[in-house]
Structure 1
Amino acid sequence: MEKLQKALEKARGQRGGTKAPDLRSHSKQSHLRGKTANAAVKAPLSLWDDLTPYEPNPDLLLRNRILTLNSEAEANPFDVLRTKVFLLMQENGWTRLAITSPNKDCGKTTTACNLAIGFSRQRENRTMLFDFDLRSPAVADMLGRKPNHGIKAMLTGDVPPKDQMLCLRGNVALSLGNMAISDPTQLLLSKHTADMLDKVQADFAPDLMIFDLPSMFAADDARAFLKNADCALILARAEHTTMAQLDTCERQVAEYTNVLGIVLNSCRHADVEGTYFGSK
């Protein structure tokens, strides 16, 4: 991880001495939103109880590398990441976490699912997971449950959130896609989408909202949405993501929101910690 950090610092220097993105560079609007959410009274349990229950298939989750349903040794790396993410966001008064990557196959959706499922074991916290990779939604297949209504129907107001979302263990809401959307950029940019997310946050008062976004280089969808997030986690894959790609991705994400950290996935060395947090 030290090598990754040094390489990133070198890349920043080569693009004109730019320092690591400041975690608080976008914090004024985000902090106010987070502070408002934290100050709000918890949503009634009945509102969460009205969501359709999701009963996971443990064998399917394991096949899809979702390891955090129970507290097992295999879940430990994701549990460590979960704690780091939660504490940093709590420190900054943030609620909305976007997860993206420079290119495909970096493990962003697997990470988003493991974080959300892992939070279901923290009963005092309420978490929401949104599959915003609208051109290629994968969370429903990974979890083994298609919703009756797609996420687009909720964002456009055709279906109320309580009829679209599923719920795991009473404290993790899942807003999943049931079909691909060919051109979702307008939907992601629309004020109606932003207003709907504000309403969901106000009504359900979650401690954390996780958004699985497309890769930054796949299309302009992630850029279209990032302004709605308090911060972003970037996934990179060892021996797959180049340093130039990671540097460009970090810079582009930082234009729209705070870079919470970088996660290095598929690292073969057992003595290397797979996360780099703190961008100062």
Structure 2
Amino acid sequence: MEKLQAALATARQNRTGKAPERRLTEDLARRKQQRSAGSVVWSQLEEFHPPADKLREHRVVTQTASSAATPFDILRTKILLQMQQNGWTRLAITSPMPDSGKTTTACNLALGLARQKELRSMLFDMDLRDPSVNQFFEKNPRNSIGSLLEGDVSFEEQALRIGDNLAISMASSPESDPSRILLSEQATTVLDEVQQRFHPDVMIFDLPSVLVNDDTRAFLKNVDCALIISRANATKYSQFDICEREIAEHTNVLGVVLNACRHGRGSTDFA
């Protein structure tokens, strides 16, 4: 564990060693070149159009700007600025326990980012025991995300595209041995290759809840930071505390969202 932590610390230092202003300028110039180079491969992804009424049923409200989308847009902006400042591109979204709204948050962030036309984003459903992103978008992929991570199919054969700048890698059914896939070096290699070929500005990974199995622990080595989603009046402080410490051992804790927090008359849940 000490060797792993030392390696992670070295990698983070290498990514964040330059002054923030110089690093941001260099990142913007590099991304402009990468965007031009990646246009062809992005166009090869199959495009689909999620039904707006189904998205609203699942509380996915960020495809267009609106008052309902504003809380997620604020979260999107804060996340994006902090990730750009640190030179991060890979964001994990998880929770201490299930039913906290992590997938709803992930889908809303992805569609909110898609409204930023100068950015390219990706959403991966890594909750391989209980995938649900396909249900949110009412669409099943041609091939399983497990086949992608095991190197059996290419990203073009597995992922789908919304608009010009959002790619979504979904599952259509649970995997029988998720931890094996998520812990494998093959999965790491596949994601590195996807990043090198498609040059996304942000990669979002919807991960399982930390305290229900070891899947998220197996995968966190592949991300730069993690967002923790806790549900008001449901997540216990002890659960959150263990979750935060577990995540901090493997990556940077970007922040915490207290979900379904009611404040004032007429307020509603967002996830």
**Where on the TM-score scale, by shorter chain, does this alignment land: which range?**
0.7 to 0.9
How far is 1:192 from its partner? 0.8
What is the rounded CA distance, in whole Å, between the counterparts of 2:67 and 2:44 in structure 1?
33
What is the rounded CA distance, in whole Å, between the counterparts of 2:61 and 2:225 in structure 1?
24
Aligned to 1:193: 187
Checking the alignment, whether the CA contact within 8 Å between 1:82 and 1:115 is kept in structure 2 is: yes
Which letter maps to 1:107?
G
Aligned to 1:47: 41
1:85 aligns with 2:85: no
Which letter maps to 1:71?
A
Q: Deviation per CA, 1:179-235: give whole Å up to 9, x if none.
A: 101221111111111011000000000000000000001100000000111000000
Aligned to 2:173: 179
How far is 1:33 from its partner? 6.0
Tell me the secondary structure at the aligned position of residue 69 of structure 2.
Answer: helix
Aligned to 2:11: 29
Which letter maps to 1:191?
E
Alignment CA distance shift 1:147-1:31 (3 Å): farther
- Decide which of 129, 141, 146 is 1:135's aligned counterpart: 129
Q: Deviation per CA, 1:75-109: give whole Å up to 9, x if none.
A: 00000000000000001000000000000000000
Aligned to 1:267: 261
What is the rounded CA distance, in whole Å, between the counterparts of 2:197 and 2:94 in structure 1?
26
Q: Deviation per CA, 1:13-40: give whole Å up to 9, x if none.
A: xxxxxxxxxxxx9554146468898746
Q: Deviation per CA, 1:34-62: give whole Å up to 9, x if none.
A: 88987462343121111000201000000
Which letter maps to 1:115?
L
- The 5 Å alignment of 1:85-234 reads 85-234=79-228
How far is 1:270 from its partner? 4.7
Structure 2-normalised TM-score?
0.87
* Structure 2 residue runs without a partner (length 5+): 1-6, 17-22
Which letter maps to 1:127?
S
How many residues are paired up? Answer: 249
Tell me the secondary structure at the aligned position of residue 111 of structure 2.
Answer: helix
Tell me the secondary structure at the aligned position of residue 222 of structure 2.
Answer: coil
Per chain length, whose mean CA-contact separation is higher, i.e. which structure has more relative contact order (CA < 8 Å, sep 6+)? 1
Alignment CA distance shift 1:91-1:26 (3 Å): farther
What is the rounded CA distance, in whole Å, between the counterparts of 1:33 and 1:47 in structure 2?
26
Tell me the secondary structure at the aligned position of residue 179 of structure 1.
Answer: coil
Structure 1-normalised TM-score?
0.84
Checking the alignment, whether the CA contact within 8 Å between 1:31 and 1:93 is kept in structure 2 is: no
What is the rounded CA distance, in whole Å, between the counterparts of 1:31 and 1:211 in structure 2?
22
What is the rounded CA distance, in whole Å, between the counterparts of 1:210 and 1:51 in structure 2?
18
1:245 aligns with 2:227: no
What is the rounded CA distance, in whole Å, between the counterparts of 1:110 and 1:249 in structure 2?
19
